[in-house]
Amino acid sequence: MAGVILLSRRFHINPDNVATPIAASLGDLTTISLLAAISMLLFRTLGMLYVQLSMLKCVWKVREAITTTPV
């Protein structure tokens, strides 16, 4: 941001007219990047959790079938 202000002063442009839109754009890009990273992390975690729960359910069913005695 300091570079933008220095360049705008060098070319005799009002820094308020330049810095504000650039700061807003950078804020939007940061927010979108964070949301993308968090959503990727959640999808990976939930995907692994689903597989782990499915495996646990299978193990539980096998254990249940082994431990129950037929009447």
CA dist 26 and 12 (Å) reads 23
CB atoms within 10 A of CB 11: 7
Q: Quick one: pLDDT at residue 69?
A: 64
Q: What pLDDT is recorded for position 29?
A: 94
Domain count, the chain: 1
In the chain, the amino acid numbered 46 is L
The pLDDT of residue 49 is above 80: no
> What is the extent of the structural domain holding 48?
2-67
Write down the pLDDT at residue 70. Answer: 65
Q: What is the pLDDT of residue 36?
A: 92
Tell me the torsion sign for CA atoms 7, 8, 11, 12.
negative
Please indicate whether residue 46 or residue 69 has the higher confidence score (pLDDT).
Answer: 46
Reply yes or no on whether the pLDDT at 17 is more than 80.
yes
pTM passes above 0.75: no
